[in-house]
Amino acid sequence: MLQALRFAHLHRLTDSGGLYEHALLTTPRREHGYCVDDVARALVLLSREAERDPLHDQYLDFLLLAQDPDGRFRNRRAADLTWSGSASVEDCWGRALWGLGAVVAHELRSEQHDAALEAFTRGASWTSPWPRARAFAALGAAFVLEVHPDHVGARTLLAEAARRIGRPELDASWPWPEQRLTYANAVVPEVLLAAGAAAGDPSLVKDGLLLLEWLVRLQTRDGVLSVIPVAGHGRGEALPGFDQQPIEIAALADACGRAHALTGDGTWQDVLERAAAWFLGQNDSGIPLYDSASGGGCDGLESTGRNENQGAESTLALLSTWQQAGRHGAWPA
C-alpha cells in the first residue's frame, strides 16, 4: 500500500468509555458521547486485521454492555457512562450484529468468540422493519455462517433479508428494488451476494452483481466515483450531488470486495482502486478527504471543499475502504 493503515486517529477518538462519535477538527467532542453504530463499524474493521489491535476487545465489551437481555440494543452512551434511550431493532441493532458476526468469524476458539456468538444469537431472535437494519444484521449473519453453517438464526436472518430485498426491477434504467437511493446503498447488493453464496443460489449472486454494476455506473462520473449525497437520489434527479458521505464509499468497497472474492473478476478491483483514490482527491471536487497528519478522514465532500471535522464514522470509512483495497490488491498506482 502507498499508505499503511493508520489507527492513530481511531485511538485519539477512543477512551476507556468507548469511541466518540463526533470531533471538532481532530478533537473528540465528549458532549456527544459514544454510539453503537460506530463501535460496531470499528469492530468489523479491527476483526479483519491480521494483527490484533488493543481496541478490539474494548469495542466488543462495549457492544455486549449495549445489549439488553432480550437481545435488542441501546445505541447511545454518554461520556459519564450512562446509557440513554430504549433498546431497539433500529440500525444500531443491525450494525451490532454485523460487528458481533465479524468477531465470531475471525476469533475462533476464544472467549471473545463465545461471548460474541451468544450475544449474536440473542439478537438474531429479532427482526426489524427497517431495510438497512435488516441488511446490516444479514452481513453479520453471513460472517457467522462462515464458521457455523448450521446456525439457524443466522441462516434465517440472511435469507429473510434477501427475500425482503426481492428481485431487481425489470426497468433497466432503474433496476433498484427501492424507489429511492438513501444511505449505505451498496449494502443491498452485498446482502444478495452473501445470501447467494451461503445458500449456493447463483440466481441471488447474479441479482446482486446486476444491482452492484448498475450502482457503480450511476455513481461514476468522468472516471471517478461520485456517490449519492446525504439527501439521497431518485429517478430523474441531477447528479452529482453534495454533501457526499464517506460511508457510501466504504459500503461500495465492502460490496466490491465481496464481488471480487466470489467472481475473481478484475472489474471489482478497478472499482476498489477508485474507492481508495476517492479519499486521496480523485472525486468530484478534487479534494483529499484523508488527513495525513492525523490519520483521520474528513466528514464530507462539498462542491467547493470538505467538512474538516474528523469524526468516527468518516475515519472508519476511510480505514475500511483502504483495508479492502489492500486485501484485494487494488491500491491506486
57-78 tens-digit pLDDT: 999 999 999 999 999 999 999 9
Alpha helices in the chain (DSSP H): 8-12, 36-47, 55-66, 91-106, 111-123, 131-147, 152-165, 187-199, 202-218, 246-263, 266-278, 312-327
Average pLDDT over residues 308-313: 98
| pLDDT (tens digit per residue) in 88-117 | 999 999 999 999 999 999 988 789 999 999
Q: Which residue has the cell 480505514?
A: 319
**How long, in residues, is the chain?**
333
* CA-derived radius of gyration, the chain: 19
| pLDDT (tens digit per residue) in 20-54 | 999 999 999 999 999 999 999 999 999 999 888 99
pTM: predicted TM-score of the whole model, two decimal places = 0.96
Contact 141, 101 (CB under 8 A): yes
**Grid cell locating 174:** 432503474
